[in-house]
Structure 1
Amino acid sequence: MITIAELRARNGKMSQKELAMEIGTSQTTVCAWEKDISVISSKHLKKVCLYFRVSADDLLGIESPGKKIS
């Protein structure tokens, strides 16, 4: 599983505010996702995935088919 915070860090230490502007939400919302205070909507999950070019499975911690989930 990869976190949004890790993706931001890999993207030139992108701030929460910068990501929020890119995907059409607020910095407060991005912060809430990262602190597990709020659950990301499917609309924003898709935008985050497209922006960082990762799969939703990666962000949600879903294993590849054929692998056992512990």
Structure 2
Amino acid sequence: MKTYVDIIRELREDRDLTQKEVAQYLGTTQQVYSRYENGENELPVRHLIALCRYYHVSADYLLGLEPF
């Protein structure tokens, strides 16, 4: 089963975005965003919501709760 760590990386890479571009959208640094993708930091709810809007996906999908 995929985790949100896998999913946010795949969504970003599928759209040919850099970590820095996504971090700028979230209003954070590339280093902090990298920690989300590596599972070193938990994804805050505000960033979860923002990523759902950015990628036009549901929170269930992003969290790995929906079938792929």
Deviations 1:24-51 (A, max 9, x none): 1111111101111011000010001100
- Report the 3-state secondary structure (helix = DSSP H, G, I; strand = E; otherwise coil) of the residue aligned with 2:65: coil
Residue of structure 1 in register with 2:37 after alignment? 34
Query: Normalising by the residue count of structure 1, what TM-score does the alignment of the two structures yield?
Result: 0.80
Partner of 2:18: 15
Task: Look up the equivalent residue of 1:37 and give its one-letter code.
Answer: E
Aligned equivalents of 2:51, 2:66: Cα separation in 1: 19
Percentage of identical aligned residues? 38
RMSD: 1.5
Task: State how 1:41-52 maps to structure 2 within 5 Å.
Answer: 41-52=44-55
Bigger share in helix:
2
The Cα of 1:63 is off from its aligned counterpart by: 3.5
Select 2:58's aligned residue among 49, 55, 58.
55
